[in-house]
């Protein structure tokens, strides 16, 4: 048995999306064998503890559940900031050629190591990840995550048309390769496989039929795909699938609109589509930096919530422009401000943690600081830069502090990241020395 205790300002977003968090200003989290054993005021949590138990004092820093990023692309680091186009041209001109390189295991391995390092540096401990259509890209990514004992959800992209030949599979191959990857990786350690048709424009009717069969054979698996991101994309789907009333109907007809199905973007949905997603218990994933960068549009958070859709917040690297969930939340606020909707700091931090856990169907494992959940944690410094320190002099409440932290913060604010109670990232060794009081 291994035990470790962390002291600091402990914050967990245990209530609904707009509720104030549970906060212990002089708090502690006790971890036993990778799971949270106790959370509360430090005196209570640490009372009677065996003197041999290691205690790490994070002093004035904030201890939260690790950030969760429900939508990003492992092979797209080297297309971030590829400019001058909207979605369909961006895919054809930059993204598909880049992903074509990932049939080489070593390319996928190097990108996976880079991505995981970058996520942990940003305080993100779980993600929903698209690999490429090459099965070895999934082997590379999951192999790296297994080595670091991370909870990750990922899948091989299925795509059999409207892309360069080196990226295409076939209905049979997409099915068989996914099946083999599920057998190899799903449920191994903390890894979960996601059935991943890229999006309707790159799958033939036959491939969607095969995907329907795969999904029916694995009713508990995640599904991840893209939906209603861009007007040109939506018009193309209407052309390719004239029998379906709208974009969402294509996925519904193939049994893909269900619980633990995560639909990236969902910007231009009709009322009918929103209620279909809500009824099915599916999730809409808001990707603000990507939606701004590609000029895709402004996500309607209030509309999605009113329809009963679970909403997640994600980076969508590399249409997105930052790995940091803090940067992502700051841009989410601005997108919603343009829609006349005001995201509060509590709602933003809820989204990054408990809300994203719910959007990924992982709320019984991660996303809150509660006994029995996995001890994936991020430690944040709200005074990380000189400007943040100066700003915080005027932050009178926790809500103000968190809002300024998400508006000004990035990976520099991440003091340390823990997975199963093990430190997997440490900002220049500062975590175990005393930060400014
Ligand atoms: N739609 C289909 N593929 C992609 C992708 O890689 N990025 C984004 N943003 N949208 C997509
Ligand atoms: Fe995406």
Give pLDDT tens digits for 285-315. Answer: 999 999 999 999 999 999 999 999 999 999 9
Residue that the structure tokens 């503890």 belong to:
49
Nearest ligand 1 atom to the CA of 233 is 1
**Closest CA relative to residue 104, chosen from 138, 133, 136:** 136
Q: Report in angstroms the alpha-carbon separations of 300 from 21, 100, 192, 224, 328.
A: 24, 34, 29, 20, 16
Q: What is the DSSP string of 371-435?
A: TTSB--EEEE-TT-SHHHHHHHTT--SHHHHHHHHHHH-SGGGEEEEEETTEEEEESTTGGGS--
**Closest CA relative to residue 5, chosen from 40, 121, 24:** 40
In this predicted structure, the answer to whether residue 224 has a pLDDT above a threshold of 90 is yes
Reported confidence tier of residue 429, pLDDT bands at 50, 70, 90:
low
Judged by its nearest atom, the ligand closest to the C-alpha of residue 96 is: 1
CA of 73 to the centre of ligand 2 (A): 6
End-to-end Cα spacing for the chain:
33
Instruction: Assess contact for 161 and 130: CB atoms under 8 A.
Output: no
Q: What pLDDT does residue 1 have?
A: 78
Query: For the chain, how long is the longest CA-to-CA vector?
Result: 69
CA of 316 to the centre of ligand 2 (A): 5
- Percent of the chain past pLDDT 90, that is, above it, reads 97
Q: 340-362 pLDDT, tens per residue?
A: 999 999 999 999 999 999 999 99
In this predicted structure, the answer to whether residue 19 has a pLDDT above a threshold of 50 is yes
CA of 320 to the centre of ligand 1 (A): 10
Judged by its nearest atom, the ligand closest to the C-alpha of residue 71 is: 2
In this predicted structure, the answer to whether residue 430 has a pLDDT above a threshold of 50 is no
Say yes or no: ipTM exceeds 0.90.
yes
Reported confidence tier of residue 434, pLDDT bands at 50, 70, 90:
very low
In the three-class reduction of DSSP (H, G, I as helix; E, B as strand; rest coil), residue 259 is classed as coil
CA of 156 to the centre of ligand 1 (A): 14
Nearest ligand 1 atom to the CA of 319 is 9
Hey, which of 129, 229, 236, 267 would you mutate to test ligand 1's pocket, going by the most ligand atoms within 8 Å of its Cβ?
Answer: 229
Q: 369-412 pLDDT, tens per residue?
A: 999 999 999 999 999 999 999 999 999 999 999 999 999 999 99
Reported confidence tier of residue 436, pLDDT bands at 50, 70, 90:
very low
In this predicted structure, the answer to whether residue 431 has a pLDDT above a threshold of 70 is no
**Closest CA relative to residue 420, chosen from 54, 32, 93:** 32
Mean pLDDT, the chain, whole residue set = 97
Residue that the structure tokens 């001890």 belong to:
375
Average the pLDDT over 100-107 and give the result. 98
d(C-alpha 147, C-alpha 156), whole Å: 19
Q: Is the dihedral of CA 143, 145, 150, 151 positive or negative?
A: negative
CA of 130 to the centre of ligand 1 (A): 10
Average the pLDDT over 11-29 and give the result. 96
Ligand 1, CB within 6 Å, residue ranges: 73, 87, 91, 95, 198-199, 226, 229, 290, 316, 319
């Amino acid at each position: 048995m291994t035990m470790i205790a962390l002291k600091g300002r402990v914050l967990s977003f245990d209530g609904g999306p707009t509720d104030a968090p549970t906060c212990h200003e002089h708090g502690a989290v006790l971890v036993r064998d990778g799971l949270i054993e106790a959370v509360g005021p430090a005196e209570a949590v640490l009372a009677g503890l065996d003197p041999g138990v290691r205690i790490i004092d994070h002093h004035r820093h904030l201890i939260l559940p690790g950030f969760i990023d429900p939508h990003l692309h492992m092979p797209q680091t080297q297309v971030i900031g590829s400019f001058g186009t909207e979605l369909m041209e961006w895919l054809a001109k930059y993204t598909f050629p880049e992903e074509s390189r990932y049939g080489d295991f070593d390319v996928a391995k190097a990108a996976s190591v880079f991505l995981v390092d970058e996520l942990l540096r940003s305080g993100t401990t779980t993600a929903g990840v698209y690999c490429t259509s090459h099965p070895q890209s999934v082997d590379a990514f999951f192999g790296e995550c297994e080595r670091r004992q991370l909870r990750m959800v990922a899948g091989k992209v299925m795509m059999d048309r409207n892309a360069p030949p080196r990226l295409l599979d076939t209905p049979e191959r997409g099915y068989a390769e996914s099946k083999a990857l599920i057998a190899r990786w799903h449920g191994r350690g903390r890894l979960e496989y996601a059935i991943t048709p890229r999006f309707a424009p790159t799958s033939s009717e036959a491939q969607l039929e095969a995907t329907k069969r795969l999904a029916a054979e694995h009713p508990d698996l995640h599904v991840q795909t893209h939906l209603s991101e861009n007007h040109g994309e939506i018009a193309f789907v209407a052309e390719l699938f004239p029998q379906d009333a709208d974009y969402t109907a294509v996925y519904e007809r193939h049994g893909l609109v269900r619980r633990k199905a995560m639909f990236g973007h969902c910007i231009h949905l009709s009322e009918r589509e929103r209620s279909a997603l809500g009824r099915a218990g599916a999730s809409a994933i808001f990707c603000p930096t990507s939606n701004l960068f590609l000029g895709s549009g402004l996500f309607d958070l209030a509309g999605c919530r009113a329809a009963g859709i679970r909403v997640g917040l994600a980076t969508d690297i590399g249409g997105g422009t930052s790995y940091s969930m803090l940067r992502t939340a700051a841009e989410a606020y601005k997108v919603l401000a343009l829609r006349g909707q005001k995201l509060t700091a509590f709602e933003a931090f809820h989204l990054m943690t408990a809300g994203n856990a719910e959007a990924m169907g992982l709320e019984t494992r991660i996303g809150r600081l509660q006994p029995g959940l996995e001890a994936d944690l991020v430690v944040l410094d709200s005074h990380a830069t000189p400007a943040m320190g100066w700003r915080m002099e005027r932050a009178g409440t926790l809500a103000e502090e968190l809002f300024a932290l998400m508006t000004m913060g990035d990976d520099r604010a991440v003091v340390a990241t823990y997975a199963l109670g093990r430190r997997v990232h440490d900002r220049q060794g500062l975590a175990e020395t005393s930060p400014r009081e």
